[in-house]
Amino acid sequence: MIRDRRRDAVFLLPGLAWLVVFFAVPLAIIFVVSLGTRDQFGGVILDHLGLQNYHRALEPDFVPTVANSLRYATLTTVFSIAIAYPIAYWISRYGGRRKNLLLILVMLPFWTSWVIRTYAWMIILRDNGVVNGILGALGLTDGPIQLLNTDFSVVLGMTYGFLPFAILPLYVSIDRLDPSLVAAARDLYASGRAAFWHVTLPLTMPGVIAAALLTFIPAIGDFVTPDLLGGAQTTTIAKVIQTLFLSSKDWAFGSALAFLLIVATIVGTVGTLRILRREVIG
């Protein structure tokens, strides 16, 4: 037995050590730096640690940025689940032998470069892009409609990008659902709609919640889509963090924002998992 333990350690240690040194320790550093102040050369001073950066993050002029981030992430999550549920249902119930192929096709765009997929939407949505070109050629519009650099384009780009994250957990959850439960509801004279609302949806709630988490977390941390599809004037937390680190060099304040983002993510994840557990048990 003891020899086995030692063997386990040989397998586990290198990878876990890597994750501790290059993942856990850097996360801890974020918190320490967030308590520091910036010096005039863009460095960090860690002499007088305090909460001043957190006070700054809670000031009223920062509210629109936080609101933008939350709005984009929430809308993306809602749209992703609304679009994903029916197709996950279709793959599970009607996919037959081609289920695996259909799932691979869902995942394929996800594996191609994020920045390139976002760029593709720029081609489609810009003033002289594909959509405006078609509308103009059909004589439906006089001039180009502004589609790019709007809330619409940001939410569209994010929904497009994170849709596979919603489809997969929903598929798993729907595929596990025993169809005879729905059949039983129908036998007891439930309408198709009633069977869905009272049987199918409640039983697949864990999948819905997992899908919500898997879209919300990357959506709130994404700065590429708001930057490319939202234009220069749209600010989100992730975009502000990027600017603070790469151009205006205020690492301490940027770290405070990043730490708040981690806390929000963890609270959201743990809270959601708790609801999930209650749903499953009760």
Q: What is the token pair recorded at 230? A: 């939202």
Q: Is 63 left (phi over 0), alpha (psi -120 to 50) or beta?
A: alpha
Q: How far is the CB of 49 from another protein (least distance, A)?
A: 14
User: Where would I find the H helices in 95-204?
Assistant: 99-111, 114-125, 130-137, 151-176, 179-187, 192-195, 201-203
Q: How far is the CB of 141 from another protein (least distance, A)?
A: 14
Closest CB to another protein among residues 8, 187:
8
CA atoms of 279 and 182, how far apart (whole Å): 19
| The dihedral sign for the CA sequence 16, 18, 19, 24 | positive
Closest CB to another protein among residues 34, 282:
34
Closest CB to another protein among residues 58, 270:
270
Q: How far is the CB of 281 from another protein (least distance, A)?
A: 19
Closest CB to another protein among residues 77, 132:
132
CA atoms of 161 and 84, how far apart (whole Å): 12
Packing angle between helix 99-111 and helix 151-176, nearest 10 degrees?
A: 150
CA atoms of 31 and 29, how far apart (whole Å): 5
Q: How far is the CB of 105 from another protein (least distance, A)?
A: 6
Q: How far is the CB of 73 from another protein (least distance, A)?
A: 10
State the Cα angle at 59 between 56 and 62, rounded to 5°.
95
Closest CB to another protein among residues 36, 282:
36
Closest CB to another protein among residues 42, 60:
42
Q: How far is the CB of 14 from another protein (least distance, A)?
A: 5
